Amino acid sequence: MNNRSEATAFFRLWRTGLLVGIFALGAWAWAGGLLPTMLDLWDDITFLSRQHVTLVAISGGLAIAVGIPVGVALTRAPLRRYGDAFLQFLNIGATIPTLAVLALSMSLLGIGDRPAIFGLFIATLLPIVSNTLAGIRAVPPHLIEAAHGMGMSAGQILWQVELPNAMFVIYAGIRTALAVNVGTVPLAFLIGGGGLGELIFSGIALNEFAMMLAGAIPTALLAILVDFLMGQLQFWTIPRGVNPLR
């Protein structure tokens, strides 16, 4: 009880501070000419944001759709022994800078959305596969033994035991992956992929500070929003018994 009222008091203080901070930032932005510029660029911002979100959704969605099944497949009997080798391969892959991945992707597929999506997909795939693999491997063996002993089929064990118990770790992988994804999309502009990177890089090239921020601020907000939504999804869709957040 005491804890809760303390927490509430802290939350109020934090909210008030946040509002004051936002107001100060707004005043500064207006005085510095940022806000007027952003309003001028409003059409560009909305259009490019939509493009940005589309890139995230397609590349991220593909990565999830491919990454989880690949991770699961690497824990099944026929592929199990290759799991470690594959994980090593992924870890090496993860050390390649994303800009290099995009550049390689462009040299393969040319200029446009397709190489951008492909490059982002590759960059996003790695944490999803490795977390799926790690999550399923971390399911205690006695759960699997109990499941076998009760006569559950391999499919039932996967869907009712392994995946639900690995879900938290898989979600963590998806969150990391999408954070990387949203943050990497601006680079896609460099290979003709569009997105908010257009404002950022143009702003830098033209030495227009306000234009650069008009791209950077929405990118940052988008990253926060995506992470928040994933957090909510993680909180509400993972059963209470295996959800450390609840």
Residues that bind another protein (CB under 8 A): 140, 142-143, 145-153, 156, 160-161, 164-165, 167, 239-242
Minimum Å gap between C-beta 133 and another protein is 19
Minimum Å gap between C-beta 19 and another protein is 39
CA distance 71 to 134: 9
Q: Is the dihedral of CA 29, 34, 36, 40 positive or negative?
A: negative
CA distance 35 to 32: 8
**Collapsed DSSP state (helix, strand, coil) of residue 12:** helix
Minimum Å gap between C-beta 237 and another protein is 12
Residue 150 has φ and ψ, to the nearest 5°, of -85, -5
> What is the distance, to the nearest Å, from the Cα of residue 199 to the centroid of all Cα atoms in its chain?
22
How many other C-beta atoms are found inside a 10 Å radius of the C-beta of residue 84? Answer: 12
Instruction: State which residue, 79 or 143, has the beta carbon closest to another protein.
Output: 143
Asked if 119 contacts 98 with a C-beta cutoff of 8 angstroms, the reply is yes
Minimum Å gap between C-beta 132 and another protein is 16
Instruction: State which residue, 78 or 241, has the beta carbon closest to another protein.
Output: 241
Instruction: State which residue, 4 or 240, has the beta carbon closest to another protein.
Output: 240
Instruction: State which residue, 8 or 237, has the beta carbon closest to another protein.
Output: 237
